[in-house]
Amino acid sequence: MTKKEKQKIITLYKRLGAMLIQRGQTFLSKAFRVRFTRIITGNELKNFLGSLGLDKVYCSDGKYYIVDWEVMKNIIKYDWTDKKKYLVDRRDCDDFANAFKSNLSAIYGINSVGLARNVKVRIIPRKKDVWHRCNLILATKNNVLKAFAFEAQNDKFQEVKKGVPVIMGNWKYRFGFFDF
């Protein structure tokens, strides 16, 4: 095979790969037919999280589009972020959280997934603290606005309630600030 033929095949792979990703996103969008159960302003978002004891919140948008938690759990089930291999400093917690947030925005138009930054995680058995990044998802459950801490690396989640520690697996979370 000549160098020119190899380059032509590589170009075809690039086009096909990009087309498959685009079509796949279209398929997912059509399959879920996401309906927003609520739209809130940045101030409403900040006030809601403040009522849960989470007061360091930065909002980039004027409005946030919320879906039902059952729909969100189904989206999580089919999201591929957690299928990627963890690579220290190359594809680690911040990359997983960023990818999940971006996927939901790009595919479904959902911007109610925030980045939890400067999260101090206590690894309970070892009594060791590490810095971490994860997501905070806003969704409605029985038409009531809720917040869920979410790990895009393994799809674990926990509803955030005022005064109740967030513990997933053997990790205990102390949140820093949130970026929506």
> For 102-158, what is each residue's pLDDT tens digit?
999 999 999 999 999 999 999 998 889 999 999 999 999 999 999 999 999 999 999
Question: Residue 89 — very low, low, confident or very high, per pLDDT cuts 50/70/90?
Answer: confident
Q: Are residues 25 and 39 in the same domain?
A: no
Q: Are residues 25 and 41 in the same domain?
A: no
Q: Are residues 9 and 98 in the same domain?
A: no
What residues make up the domain containing 28?
A: 1-33
d(CA 144, CA 68): 9
d(CA 26, CA 21): 9
At 35-88, the pLDDT tens digits run 999 999 999 999 999 999 999 999 999 999 999 999 999 999 999 999 998 889
Q: Are residues 127 and 84 in the same domain?
A: yes
- Beta carbons of 110 and 150 less than 8 angstroms apart: no
d(CA 12, CA 118): 42
- pLDDT, residue 160, reads 98
Q: Are residues 23 and 73 in the same domain?
A: no
- pLDDT, residue 101, reads 98
Q: Which residues of 95-128 are buried (b: 16+ CB within 10 A; e: fewer)?
A: bbbebbbebbeebbebbbbbbbbebebbeeeeee
Whose CA is closest to 24, among 85, 78, 82, 95? 78
Q: Are residues 65 and 146 in the same domain?
A: yes
Q: Are residues 8 and 75 in the same domain?
A: no
Q: Is the pLDDT of residue 163 over 90?
A: yes
Q: What mean pLDDT is predicted for residues 10-32?
A: 94
Q: Is the pLDDT of residue 20 over 90?
A: yes
Q: Are residues 42 and 128 in the same domain?
A: yes
Q: Are residues 39 and 15 in the same domain?
A: no
* Domain count of the fold of the chain: 2
Q: Which residue has the tokens 């309630």?
A: 161
Q: Are residues 72 and 93 in the same domain?
A: yes
* pTM score, whole prediction: 0.92
- pLDDT, residue 125, reads 85
Q: Are residues 13 and 54 in the same domain?
A: no
Q: Are residues 24 and 40 in the same domain?
A: no
Q: What is the CATH number of the domain that holds 133?
A: 3.30.460.70
